[in-house]
Chains A and B, each alone.
Chain A
Amino acid sequence: MKSFEKFTGLVAPLDRPNVDTDAIIPKQFLKSIRRTGFGPYLFDEWRYLDHGEPDMDCSGRPLNPDFVLNQPRYQGAEILLARDNFGCGSSREHAVWALADYGIRVVIAPSFADIFYSNCGKNGLLAITLPSGEIDRLFREVEASEGYRLTVDLESQTLTTPAGEVIPFEIDPALKERLLQGLDDIAITLQHADEIRAYEARRAREAPWLFPARE
């Protein structure tokens, strides 16, 4: 995982609650056995007027002019501003891979679904939770001013608006550390391999039916 560094990026507003992972990346694209290449199909059913299929060349597909990410002013967006319960539904990590592959590095919403939030953290995508009032105001500012950019500084846990106003955000310290350092979760856990083995040995005595292979 790449370490998360401070950056300033264009913000795109997706003004609807309960955006589910089926909408973020529709099922037909889950047949891929790779982690990459999902970006062109992000929000496929909202973004294009025709039906998308895996491995389709998207360059000539008819775009839905009403979908916000298709508007010229939001091209190159790296920050997605969203509403409540973003990423609900299926556990598909493909949703996070698609956002990241498209170029989104930060999603800001009043709340996220649990599995989606966890998947973000595993892929270096920063999901920022802000109070609804703050989100409402950001929606108004983004829509009112073309080229609206936010500076995201994870180290200091702040967003900075174009006017220079600083908005602090909360994040779990352990997650922050992993994102900043780009740490490999599995390598960290495997440092405790002896403790896992000790747990297994104890548990196999207490609840031997859970370890039938040891019988």
Chain B
Amino acid sequence: MSGRTLYDKLWDDHVVRDNGDGTCLIYIDRHLIHEVTSPQAFEGLRLAGRRPWRVDADLAVSDHNVPTTDRDHIDDPVARTQLETLDANCREWNITQFGIHDPRQGIVHVVGPEQGACLPGMTIVCGDSHTSTNGALGALAFGIGTSEVEHVLATQCLVLHKARNMRIRVEGETGPGVTAKDIVLHIIGRIGTAGGTGHAIEFAGSAIRALSMEGRMTVCNMAIEAGARAGMVAVDQTTIDYVRGRPYAPRGELWEQAVEAWSDLHSDEDAVFDRDVVIDAGEIRPVVTWGTSPEMVVPVNGRVPDPARESDPVRRIGMERALEYMDLEPDMPVTEIRIDKVFIGSCTNSRIEDLRAAAEVVRGRKLAPGVKQALVVPGSGLVKRQAEEEGLDRIFTEAGFEWREPGCSMCLGMNPDRLAPGERCASTSNRNFEGRQGPGGRTHLVSPAMAAAAAIAGHFVDVREFLD
């Protein structure tokens, strides 16, 4: 018998029962809850006369709708209702919630790991597709819809088909200026936005092992942009060092016991993957997305592609449409694309390491005159505090950036932070879909350092020019 993959192990540990019809009942250890995808689930529970199965597995925090400026006055009455609904639901069922004035509040996928509420070996779900972020801890973490949120609330379980195993090994050393974001965008550019559909992806290889936990979270975060519900990285010393001492992490004897158990959270040597992709880390360049799908990736020193050279007709039409929406010409150099706004934040890139990388580029420089607005939105109140202790906020504000309160912000523009029609943004977020950051807005996905460099130059620029 061949060995098991990390995903196999996580799956096996959580099987409550095999339903005998291709599905298993899978136990959920941690349920993260936010304001947008939960109200209908709580309402469903109430209408059916049910109650939450195990509230100590739940952790709630509002992030999508939260203003990143003044928290005391939420002008949008619909958003306010949604925030108040989460507060009321958490009060009713005694669910732990970090309210919008709590220093621990932030983007749910930043808060979970930061608090040690998400641990290696757990199954972690949330009504949010970027739950895959938490797989960086060596956990099985994936996004669910609202019906499944209700199902987990009511039963602490989900009925699931097991996904296929896929491994993406990034081997070798990355060059200067190449970050976790460039690695994952490069991967998506290579395998496509449906490349991981039906699979759970384990990110492996020396370039992944060399990443910090923050970097691994960035990579796993965008597993969903490659079509995979779950992304994960095996547990190693970096994982253990990250988790140790966090508020919700085990302590004392339990800690020792947990670490012992976590040492098995890696794929066996002889494990078989349904799909195995190898990527040479040395080939990866700082990248920019040029279109309206995260797979539309080019190196910053490259050119916008020409649909005329695409042989597949469906893809060609998609490219033409993307160029039209993005108002770009085929073959133009990426460095000639000028930007209006900059957004540094989101569950992909709002952790302390991201802010440090951006600040390093910005230090002592000023926003380019043509850049109308540049936002830095830390992932949580604690990230914000740490950044302020390190003086990063001053580096940003002195350069002309706005330093905001934590939340999802302009990643999806549910709160007031958004693009106006036609505006072009260098964004550290995860989706460049049409209208994602505001109707008619044009999003280019980049790393924090690349976003910072674009802010200073007024157009995309190879960040390596700033790092000498």
Residues of chain A at the chain B interface (Cβ within 8 Å): 15-18, 20, 22-23, 26-28, 30-35, 45, 51, 54-55, 83-85, 88-94, 96, 111, 113-115, 118-119, 122-123, 172-174, 177, 185-186, 188-190, 192-193, 195-196, 199-200, 203, 207-213
Q: Is the CB of A18 within 8 A of B318?
A: yes
With the chains together, A111 CA to B195 CA distance in Å? 11
Q: Is the CB of A118 within 8 A of B148?
A: yes
Q: Which of A15, A186, A213 contacts B155 (CB 8 A)?
A: A186
Q: Is the CB of A210 within 8 A of B431?
A: no
Known interface pairs A94-B146, A113-B227; 16 further A-B residue pairs with C-beta atoms within 8 A, sorted by A's residue number = A22-B433, A30-B64, A31-B78, A33-B82, A54-B78, A85-B197, A111-B197, A172-B22, A193-B155, A203-B27, A207-B258, A208-B254, A208-B257, A209-B255, A212-B56, A213-B56
15 contacts between A and B (CB under 8 A): A15-B317, A22-B431, A31-B76, A35-B43, A45-B439, A89-B129, A93-B147, A114-B229, A122-B145, A122-B148, A172-B22, A195-B17, A196-B155, A209-B257, A210-B122
A91 to nearest B CB, angstroms? Answer: 4
- One of B32-40, B333-341, B349-357 at the interface: B32-40
Given known contacts A91-B37, A209-B254, is B434 in contact with A23 (CB within 8 Å)? yes
How extensive is the interface on chain B, given as a class?
35 or more
Is the CB of B121 closer than 8 A to any CB of chain A?
A: yes
Is the CB of B278 closer than 8 A to any CB of chain A?
A: no
Q: Is the CB of B85 within 8 A of A119?
A: no
With the chains together, A200 CA to B190 CA distance in Å? 41
List of A residues within 8 angstroms of B363 by Cβ: none
Q: Which of B50, B53, B121, B293 contacts A18 (CB 8 A)?
A: B293
**Chain B positions 247 through 275: 1 when the CB is less than 8 Å from some CB of chain A, otherwise 0:** 01010001101100100000000000000
Is the CB of B428 closer than 8 A to any CB of chain A?
A: no
With the chains together, A189 CA to B26 CA distance in Å? 11
A3 to nearest B CB, angstroms? Answer: 17
List of B residues within 8 angstroms of A190 by Cβ: 154-155
Q: Is the CB of A91 within 8 A of B128?
A: yes
Given known contacts A22-B431, A113-B194, A186-B151, is B314 in contact with A196 (CB within 8 Å)? no
Q: Is the CB of A16 within 8 A of B436?
A: no
- Residue among B145, B161, B255, B433 with most chain A CB within 10 A: B145
With the chains together, A200 CA to B25 CA distance in Å? 13
With the chains together, A73 CA to B64 CA distance in Å? 38
Q: Which of A20, A31, A45, A196 contacts B156 (CB 8 A)?
A: A196
List of B residues within 8 angstroms of A177 by Cβ: 21
With the chains together, A132 CA to B128 CA distance in Å? 29
List of A residues within 8 angstroms of B119 by Cβ: 209-210
B40 to nearest A CB, angstroms? Answer: 5
List of A residues within 8 angstroms of B27 by Cβ: 196, 199-200, 203
List of B residues within 8 angstroms of A91 by Cβ: 37, 127-129, 143-145
Given known contacts A26-B439, A45-B439, A91-B129, is B194 in contact with A84 (CB within 8 Å)? yes
- Residue among A26, A113, A189, A200 with most chain B CB within 10 A: A189
Q: Using CB atoms, name the residue of chain B closest to A34.
A: B40
Q: Is the CB of A115 within 8 A of B81?
A: no
Is the CB of B95 closer than 8 A to any CB of chain A?
A: no
List of B residues within 8 angstroms of A22 by Cβ: 412, 431, 433-436
Q: Which of B82, B151, B154, B436 contacts A31 (CB 8 A)?
A: B82
Q: Is the CB of B433 within 8 A of A16?
A: no
B292 to nearest A CB, angstroms? Answer: 8
Is the CB of B413 closer than 8 A to any CB of chain A?
A: yes
Q: Is the CB of B413 within 8 A of A27?
A: yes
